[in-house]
Structures are given as C-alpha cells and as structure tokens.
Structure 1
C-alpha cells in the first residue's frame, strides 16, 4: 500500500505504521526465503547435471567397447573397423576415400567385405545392427 500511495501520490493514513513495518519485515523474510530456496534448488540441479554427465560418459565408454567387441565378432580387419566406424558416422564412400587417402573403389570393397562378414546388405542395417547390439549389451545399471 505504501508503495502504491507513493507511486500515485495518494495520501493514505489508514494503515498504522506498526502494521506497515510488520508487512515490510515479512516481505523481507519472504524475499530471503526465496533466495535461499533458489540457491538450494540450483545446487540440487547442478548435482543432477553432474550425475547425468558422469552416467553419459560411462555409457559412451561402454558404447565404444561394445562396438569394438562387435567388430571383433565379425572379424573385421583394422582397416575395415575404421571404415565401418566412418560409415556409422554417416560418411559417404567418396568422403571416406578422401579421408583415408584411397580410391572410392577400395572403400567400396571394404564396405562390401564388412557387409559380407556382418551378414548385412546396407549402411542402414549396419548402423541399426551396431546400435541395437550396443544398447542391449549395456547393463541398465550404467544408466541408473
């Protein structure tokens, strides 16, 4: 009321000064409680973000380990493993050839060999197969 009366130049003397002081003190406590609550909630949110990042890092490490195991089961050569990873990442044969410093036909040969060893017929099947195998292999405790 006091702020409104000062803002609009009203003369209000209905509320005794003791009540105005009490309202201001209660408002100050309310603001202080709000600040403390915000700090506590931000701290908890920060802890949650840290825990989720730790879990993601653990899952990412396990992801790489399981991809390597899958490639070993398929008996891929070291070159085929690199090519398979680049295929999974979405690179085309031309891009892979450029990155590897080889010809596109060499990359096609590697991709065909990967498909044959993995009993697959397309890039999409390769990606889906690897992702499904990895997701089912990672224990649920890694996400908890």
Structure 2
C-alpha cells in the first residue's frame, strides 16, 4: 500500500475512535452518576471537549494536507519545465527536437499524431497537413483534436507556445 492510503486508513480509524468515544461520553453525561461519582461528570465533559477539538484539528490538518499536495504538484511541474528549458538551452538546435519527441512520448502520441504534431510546430495549417499526408481535412482535424486532448492543450497556439516558451529570453 502506498503512503497516502495508510494515512487515509489511519485518519478513518482515528475518526471512528473519536465518534465511539463521544458516544460513550454522551451516554455518561445523559445518565446521572451516583452521588460519590459526581466528579466523573466534570471529567466526561472535559473529555468530550477534547474529542470535539480533535475533529476540528483533523479537519484543519486535512485541508492543509490538500493544500500542500496541490503546491507539491505545482512545484513538480515547474521543476520539470525548468529541466526541459535547461536541456533545450544547452544545445538549442538539436536539443529542441529531442525534447519535442521526448514530450510526445510522454503524452503517448501515436506515430501519426507525432508526425502531425511536428507539422503543427512547423506552422502548417490543417489544410496543408491534409495535403501533405493525403488525408481528408476532417481526419486531420480529428487527429489534432486528439493531440490537444492528450497534451492537455486547448489549441494550436497553446501547443506551439508550450515548446517555444523555453527558448524565449526572460523579460526585463
């Protein structure tokens, strides 16, 4: 089991334990104790407060964990982008196409989609790609839609920008 599933399992175990504890304390509070056991009522009230406070603490920690998870994902994405930029900038002429092909592999593009993606990067229109590949315009449009879906891009400009942005100098 991975680390996250252990955390979730522990969290559920803890929550169930707290619920059972609160039920037991509520039972103690609703059934009046014997005269010599009156201080037990005070202790049960205090323990119930601790249990309810624990729920609050758990919810706060859970929200923080989710926030940290999102920030971690963003940081990993940024690190991957910076690594890609560094690899391209070391040798722009050959590294660019190596990185393009590597990214296409990561997106799991088919060979046909890779060919079309390269033509898109070279600035070909759908009509031009259809002419070069001797396919219908509709086929090329479907294949480019598949490329954009697999790469999580919304269109040609975003797709091209993904590869060209690392080559641009930083703004002053």
TM-score norm. by structure 2 comes to 0.43
Query: Following the alignment from structure 1 to structure 2, what is the Cα–Cα distance between the partners of residues 93 and 122?
Result: 12
Alpha-carbon RMSD: 1.8
Q: Does 1:87 align with 2:120?
A: yes
2:103 aligns to what SS in structure 1? helix
Query: Following the alignment from structure 1 to structure 2, what is the Cα–Cα distance between the partners of residues 130 and 80?
Result: 16
Query: Following the alignment from structure 2 to structure 1, what is the Cα–Cα distance between the partners of residues 96 and 121?
Result: 13
Q: Give the C-alpha shift of residue 131 in structure 1.
A: 2.0
Alignment-derived partner of residue 108 in structure 2: 75
| Conserved? CA contact 1:80–1:114, under 8 Å | yes
Alignment-derived partner of residue 143 in structure 2: 110
2:97 aligns to what SS in structure 1? helix
Q: Give the C-alpha shift of residue 59 in structure 1.
A: 2.2
In structure 1, the gaps of 5 or more residues are 1-55, 137-144
Q: Does 1:65 align with 2:93?
A: no
In structure 2, the gaps of 5 or more residues are 1-88
Query: Following the alignment from structure 1 to structure 2, what is the Cα–Cα distance between the partners of residues 102 and 81?
Result: 15
Q: Does 1:96 align with 2:129?
A: yes
Q: How many residues align?
A: 79
Query: Following the alignment from structure 2 to structure 1, what is the Cα–Cα distance between the partners of residues 126 and 95?
Result: 27
- Per-residue CA shift, 1:20-55, capped at 9, x if unaligned? xxxxxxxxxxxxxxxxxxxxxxxxxxxxxxxxxxxx
2:154 aligns to what SS in structure 1? coil
> Which gives a bigger RCO, structure 1 or 2 (Cα 8 Å, sep 6+)?
1
Query: Following the alignment from structure 1 to structure 2, what is the Cα–Cα distance between the partners of residues 61 and 126?
Result: 20
Query: Following the alignment from structure 2 to structure 1, what is the Cα–Cα distance between the partners of residues 127 and 167?
Result: 29
Q: Give the C-alpha shift of residue 135 in structure 1.
A: 4.0
